[in-house]
Amino acid sequence: MRIFAATSRYVQGPAALEALGQHARALGQNAFVVTDADMAKLLGERVEASFAAADMQASIRIFPGEITHAAIESLAAEARAFAADVIVGLGGGKALDTAKGVALKLGARSVSVPTIASNDGPASAAIAVYDDNHIMQDILHLPRNPELVLVDTQVIANAPVRFLLAGIGDAISKKFEAEACAAAGAHTLLGTPASLTGLMAADTCYRILREHAVAAVAAVREKRVDAHLEALVEATVLLSTISFENGGLSLAHALARGFSYLERARGTLHGAHVAYGLLVQLAMEKRDDAFIGELCDFYREVGLPTQLQDFGLDQPTSAEIRQLAASSMESPSVKRFAPPVQAAQLEQAIERVQRLTATA
Ligand SMILES: [Zn+2]
């Protein structure tokens, strides 16, 4: 058996925000919008105008900042009182996941409007729930992917470039993770072997990043939308998600889990962790130095991290490297790799990446 899952409508372009109501209208009447204070101020009026033009009722609510079970519960009560049938997340990953959590509680339709392209979350059915210390507690799943994902590329171009870099990091691993997952005979998050469509998406995602990332990053530094950025955003927001849900994850994402326990790496982004995690995965795959070195050259050109020093760990200690390896072992993605992984091998792979990138 194979299962393919994805959003049913993806809309992307400059000024796409003006078309939000028009596309959401097919899903319901009352839109409950979950966002943060900055986005409410920056985009709230445009969002309200777009729903009004589509004859929909809209209510914009500010979420508390961290996605916890308590935050989801309290917003769900407000959404119920509003008789919401469409729940819209507007903002970064936490606002979007909170909105998905509310949609799950209400059994309502889910819409994602990411204002940064920093990860593969917006189009995904997965909802990462944290505790107040930002340690991941739970992963919940919507019964279906968000029905609508709408990305205004001018909004993405106006956001700080570090977010786009993280999105590239979260996407660049997908081809290698899908291939490793398939080689291990492991299943995707849908519980089946990868579909050909999932593997194709992962491969295409990687090719688009290699072709357009450098130019797209340059465009965002100038807050400019061009064809390179359009291509890159489609890869990081749509293909990256199709890849991991339908192709499977592996060691790069296991390493990303490990990073959340590294005290000195606090505040650095998931996508940056994944980018580094991919280098470790390639070391575990026993790729030769030239292969890893070529990818590192590309990382440097784009602005992605190649060593632990890039996460604020100047002179990472062997205890930190051991901890990164050990906590990565807690991720279920560590099992989507063959042969079976031991913490000591991960530790050696991290050390190999550190040696390789130090001499470059
Ligand atoms: Zn990810």
What would the pLDDT profile of 300-333 be if each residue is shown by its tens digit? Answer: 999 999 999 999 888 899 999 999 999 999 999 9
283 is in an annotated binding site: no
How far away, in angstroms, is 148 Cα from ligand 1 center? Answer: 20
**pLDDT tens-digit map of 274-301:** 999 999 999 999 999 999 999 999 999 9
Which residues are within 5 Å of ligand 1 (an ion), measured at CB? 170
Q: What is the CATH number of the domain that holds 89?
A: 3.40.50.1970
Provide the residue count of the chain: 360
Please tell me the total count of domains within the chain. Answer: 2
Kindly write down the DSSP assignment for every residue of 120-186, as one continuous string: S-TT-SEEEEE-TTS-EEEEEE-SS--SEEEEEHHHHHHS-HHHHHHHHHHHHTHHHHHHHHHHTT-
How far away, in angstroms, is 294 Cα from ligand 1 center? Answer: 23
Order of strands across the sheet that contains 109-114: 9-13, 148-152, 109-114, 86-91, 30-35, 57-62
The answer on 341 and 321 residing in a single domain is yes
Predicted pLDDT of residue 260: 86
How far away, in angstroms, is 174 Cα from ligand 1 center? Answer: 9
The answer on 348 and 204 residing in a single domain is yes
**2 lies in a domain?**
no
**1 lies in a domain?**
no
138 is in an annotated binding site: no
116 is in an annotated binding site: yes
| Cα(245)–Cα(85) distance, integer angstroms | 26
The answer on 190 and 154 residing in a single domain is no
Domain that holds residue 329: 161-358
**pLDDT tens-digit map of 225-253:** 999 999 999 999 999 999 999 999 999 99
**3 lies in a domain?**
no
The answer on 227 and 99 residing in a single domain is no
Last residue of one domain, picked from the residues 158, 189, 222: 158
First and final CA of the chain: distance in angstroms? Answer: 45
How far away, in angstroms, is 34 Cα from ligand 1 center? Answer: 22
How far away, in angstroms, is 237 Cα from ligand 1 center? Answer: 11
CB within 8 Å of 296: residues ≥ 6 apart:
279, 306, 356, 357, 360
170 is in an annotated binding site: yes
